[in-house]
Structure 1
Amino acid sequence: MAGSKFLENLIAGSSEKIQDVRKHIELAAPFPVSVMAVGPTGSGKELIAKGIHKLSGRSGKFIAVNSAAIPAELLEAELFGYEKGAFTGADKGRKGKVEEAGGGTLFLDEIGDMPLSLQAKLLRVLETKTVQKIGSEKSIPVDFRLVCATHTDIGEMARRGEFRADLLYRIAVYTIANPPLAERVEDIEELITVLSMRLKKTEKKILPVSFEPDAIAFLQQYDWPGNIRELANFLQKCSVLYSGERLGIQKIEPLMPNFHEGVSTLRDQATFWDGALQDQTPSTPFLNTKQTLLEQSRFFAADQPLNLHEFLADVEENLIVAALNETEGNVEKAAGKLGIEPDMLMQKIKQFSLAEKELLAPSDRLL
């Protein structure tokens, strides 16, 4: 009973499909078998892993690694650790995530992106229940629960030789399918409530919006290709533009220019911001992300000119955050969406102190 309540709080929704997900988590959690969570990007697969960890009774840490977000040449050291002097720059030794997960759960997100060479090493760890750090011949015993996730057809990858079939058998003893948001639209209203609470807690300067019934019905017709992550980003955008207001369909429809195609891309951000500027009134606060003059006055208030530099910086920061959220913190992919080089994006991340918000790490919670 306690486990069911925990899962209801962790994974929001009352639809039959999401109830099935919670049921499978409860079934799998007590047994020490490897679990594979499958589902589209942004649907909340990490929450499945967290639910399994919590209900498994393991006292160790929950350690998450996104295989797609770490360059292949660094992933081996991240997973297995290394000894001092193992390679240039290794001034001291370090535990790998596999060892850190001892007594707990290791969550490998986007396992399909793991290079074949590392798949062989991971298979050996699972077979021998030991790990060898880079630069060491010593085998260290490890005991961890493994949960993996992918948005790809990993079975087809194995058939094409792009993923080791013997590893797949090891990591997918029990499979849990997480549905896309488009297949559980009846949960959208509840998800908005949960996301609003999260937004209010994490972004003190943003007052979440609420929606009229016609707006909720409109949102339920959209395909949400970015799933819950896209819904969260949309809610944040609305709350930045219409702080604390109750929105009807007239205000949200212009913010979804590709509604009929069911596709949301960063290319539409220009249209988004143009519409936002045209819709601003003196009673509507705008972009309260910093202690700027916009926070103490109203948009284009009399005798108070707009600080264009700070305004554009706020727009830039919001677009970078959106790109990082959409690509699960993958700097290279986010830079591609923004049309800039990864080095330039890293400079911007430092400039806006975005690393402190853990945007480059697997999200702590998507719901």
Structure 2
Amino acid sequence: MRILTWPLPILFVIAFPASGRRQSRQSEPPCENPLVRQEWRELSLEGRLDFIAAVKCLQVRPGETSVAFSGVRSRYDDFVALHISQADYVHWVVSIALISILDGTGLFCGCLNKPFGTNVHTEVPYHWTQDAFDEISILESPVFDPVYGLGGNGDFIADINLFPEERKTEVDVPGRTGGGCLADGPFAGVNASMGPGNHTEYTPRCIRRDISPSLMVRALGAEQLASVLNASSYFELEHRTEGLALGVEGISVHGGGHFGIGGILGDMSNTWSSTVDPIFWLHHGSIDRMWDIWQRADWANRKTDIGGPDTQWAYPYNYFGDKAYKNITLDFEMDLGEIGGSVKIRDIMDAQGKYLCYTYS
């Protein structure tokens, strides 16, 4: 195995040609030398800067899907638009597998891979459990460093009533400490092109964070992670990852990163346009790593274990009443739009298989 100078989030690192379209699976060689995804802290300072530089390059490189999505201006926007357009078919629908692939991980990494002359080749997970033992440690997390991280919080905004409803999450996140535009770091002053919300029109605006350290400590700590990993099936793993109830009390490790960083006014809390904040990719790298750990604890049984509804808000997420659905199988196809075509779940069940070909340090 080779350890690269740095890595990225969930099921991706696929060999894509320059257009973003993936190559035929039949043409992909066996995975004999998987890329090793290192945690953010394991990267050299130069490696962290490489990742940041590659993301910033994506934010100025021309987009390729502006015909379908009028708000797209950059290559980075291609991934934002993909997430916005597919969010209603991904969240609460075999969320770990689908969000892993659909939320950009491999596609995003494949796009970062070659064009910019950096050593960015694979996803970088962030292990929140190393910080989520107290609120001070969360705020001092190296991922929030203004130089060698992705920047910190926005300035605190006390009166959220000044903002339109589409700008605020429906979850009443406690302990929020920000809400303003990014105040420091490499993405301060960078405009998001789309959102907030479920649309892809061009609406330039700043990226906001509204960190809730208390929520992150509760939802991303070692005890919560252990509870998720104790699941006996993929169906149960997904349910524990998403949370067993709506509202703050039900937030688990997936929502803990989103709502913990996004608060009420921050972009990470937005169901559709959370991808405008580059920290999204590190959080989803963590979720993908969690799934890989769970699988390999009982590989013989879990390498093909998948399940869950093919319809949003169907059982076990039927909080608004029962909805008809079919159970997801290994032959379920995920739509990656113009960027990646379609991918069957069976092809991404093994991170070390030929389609993905990576492992974790």
TM-score, normalised with respect to structure 1: 0.23
* RCO higher in structure (CA 8 A, sep ≥6): 2
| TM-score (structure 2 length as normaliser) | 0.24
Identify, as 1 or 2, the structure richer in helix: 1
